[in-house]
């Protein structure tokens, strides 16, 4: 018998920071029938799904949802292309690799992008943010809700209030936390909240998600060159019909319809957020019980979806790769840390870190089993 590529694929349990483990029902929903994306069948799927996304966002009547074909960065690029006009400044508040990513997206689009940066592992400091917004008077300010590279969660609502109070438009990257923690956008002044399907929503990658405000749509009308699929005004016309601008993955749309119904009507939004807090506490207790390991993120800013762990003095990236392979042999995909961050830490003679992803549909029992195995590997390596 000839072998097929399927013989080579291993069904590892993912404990990385996205993509995440999928519930069996979500995998099965990937086999549901194709449909026409301009047909009434589309509305049956994406109508409820888009309404559920608004619920998860705690969105107000001023907010609408757009689904972009692509991923989180697609939504982030649309935000700066649609909302930063020629000659305007966008201030990027950077607490890690994904803040840098958004700034690089702005620079790649020729935007005047200023930088307020914090050391890796630190959270955004609101006083410094206020002083910088007052000094630079940017039209737009972009912040990261949950910095996946360092496991830091920022107070996005306080940042939005502050930015709005200074007359600028707040943009928020919530790619790795949306669906795992309250976002509470109603009345926040948030103009654009960006996310994606493959993290805390427990779905495969394929859609960038944006929750946009009426104010953002009005501002986009004053930005001359917005591109095509990055144009939120073009996108919103389709979104208002519960459609995507270009042909979506019907597979993902089917899975999304099934999964968002589960999140909102079966698990329940509050219960989902509470489960993520318990997962964070479980990861925290594990790290606290290890000798020589520490948290990378400061107390009060530890993410409910990802925990970054400082390895003991003398540990190297190579050693974390060994942990990864040892965990692979046990059927798990371990996250040996964000590559560029660890390279910088190692080059500076500082301690490297690894991450424990605990987002999406992970249950406490699954995390418990994984942490027990990881504890054994860490003690033997
Ligand atoms: C916080 C954050 N922002 C942005 C991105 C980029 O998202 P995507 O890979 O979906 O384009 C990621 C991906 O890991 C992320 O964690």
Cβ(229) – ligand 1 distance below 6 Å: no
Q: Are strands 306-310 and 353-357 parallel, antiparallel or unpaired?
A: antiparallel
- Using alpha carbons, list the distances in angstroms from residue 348 to 317, 341, 351: 13, 11, 9
Task: Describe the crossing of helices 72-83 and 232-239 by its angle, rounded to 10 degrees.
Answer: 120
Whether the CB-CB separation of 97 and 340 falls below 8 Å is answered with yes
The pLDDT, as a whole number, for residue 176 is: 98
Beta bridge partners of 147: 152
The pLDDT, as a whole number, for residue 7 is: 87
Cβ(150) – ligand 1 distance below 6 Å: no
Each residue of 325-351: pLDDT tens digit? Answer: 999 999 999 999 999 999 999 999 999
Cβ(176) – ligand 1 distance below 6 Å: yes
Each residue of 208-243: pLDDT tens digit? Answer: 999 999 999 999 999 999 999 999 999 999 999 999
The whole-angstrom separation of Cα 345 and Cα 322 is 18
**All domains of the chain, ordered by start, with CATH?**
24-265 (3.40.640.10), 269-380 (3.90.1150.10)
The pLDDT, as a whole number, for residue 168 is: 98
Tell me the CA–centroid distance for residue 379 and ligand 1, in Å: 32
Each residue of 32-85: pLDDT tens digit? Answer: 999 999 999 999 999 999 999 999 999 999 999 999 999 999 999 999 999 999
Tell me the CA–centroid distance for residue 174 and ligand 1, in Å: 9
Residue 1: pLDDT band with limits 50, 70, 90: low
Cβ(73) – ligand 1 distance below 6 Å: yes
Alpha-carbon torsion (138, 142, 143, 148), positive or negative: negative
CA nearest 85: which of 216, 209, 228, 245?
A: 216
Each residue of 300-312: pLDDT tens digit? Answer: 999 999 999 999 9
Residue 6: pLDDT band with limits 50, 70, 90: confident
The whole-angstrom separation of Cα 146 and Cα 144 is 6
Each residue of 128-185: pLDDT tens digit? Answer: 999 999 999 999 999 999 999 999 999 999 999 999 999 999 999 999 999 999 999 9
The pTM score is: 0.98
Mean pLDDT of the chain: 97
């Amino acid at each position: 018998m000839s072998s097929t590529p399927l013989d080579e694929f291993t069904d590892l349990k993912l404990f990385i920071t996205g993509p995440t483990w999928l519930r069996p029902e979500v995998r099965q929903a990937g086999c549901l029938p194709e449909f026409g994306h301009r047909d009434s069948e589309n509305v049956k799927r994406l109508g409820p799904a888009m309404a559920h996304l608004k619920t998860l966002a705690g969105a107000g009547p001023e907010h609408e949802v757009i689904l972009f074909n692509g991923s989180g960065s697609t939504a982030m690029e649309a935000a700066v292309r649609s909302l930063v006009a020629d000659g305007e400044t966008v201030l990027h508040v950077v607490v890690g690799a994904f803040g840098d990513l958004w700034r690089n997206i702005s620079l790649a689009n020729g935007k005047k992008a200023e930088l307020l940066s914090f050391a890796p592992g630190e959270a955004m400091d609101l006083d410094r943010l206020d002083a910088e917004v007052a000094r630079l008077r940017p039209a737009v300010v972009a912040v990261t809700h949950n910095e996946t590279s360092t496991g830091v969660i920022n107070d996005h609502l306080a940042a939005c209030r502050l930015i709005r109070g200074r007359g600028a438009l707040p943009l928020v990257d919530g790619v790795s936390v949306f669906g795992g923690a309250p976002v509470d956008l109603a009345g926040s002044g948030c103009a654009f909240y960006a996310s994606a399907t493959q993290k805390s929503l427990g779905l495969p990658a394929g859609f960038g998600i944006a929750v946009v405000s009426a104010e953002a749509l009005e501002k986009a009308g004053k930005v001359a060159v917005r591109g095509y699929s990055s144009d939120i005004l073009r996108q919103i016309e389709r979104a208002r019909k519960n459609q995507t601008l270009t042909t979506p993955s019907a597979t993902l749309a089917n899975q999304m319809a099934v999964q968002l119904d589960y999140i909102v009507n079966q698990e329940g939004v509050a219960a989902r957020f509470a489960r993520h807090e318990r997962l964070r506490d479980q990861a925290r207790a594990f790290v606290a019980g290890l000798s020589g390991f520490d948290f990378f993120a400061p107390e009060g800013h530890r993410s409910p979806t990802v925990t970054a762990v400082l390895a003991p003095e003398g540990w190297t990236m190579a050693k974390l790769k060994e942990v990864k392979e040892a965990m692979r042999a046990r059927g798990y995909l371990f996250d040996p840390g964000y590559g560029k961050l660890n390279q910088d830490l190692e080059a500076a003679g500082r301690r490297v870190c690894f991450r424990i992803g605990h987002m999406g549909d992970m249950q406490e029992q699954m995390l418990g089993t994984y942490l027990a195995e990881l504890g054994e590997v860490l003690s033997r390596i």
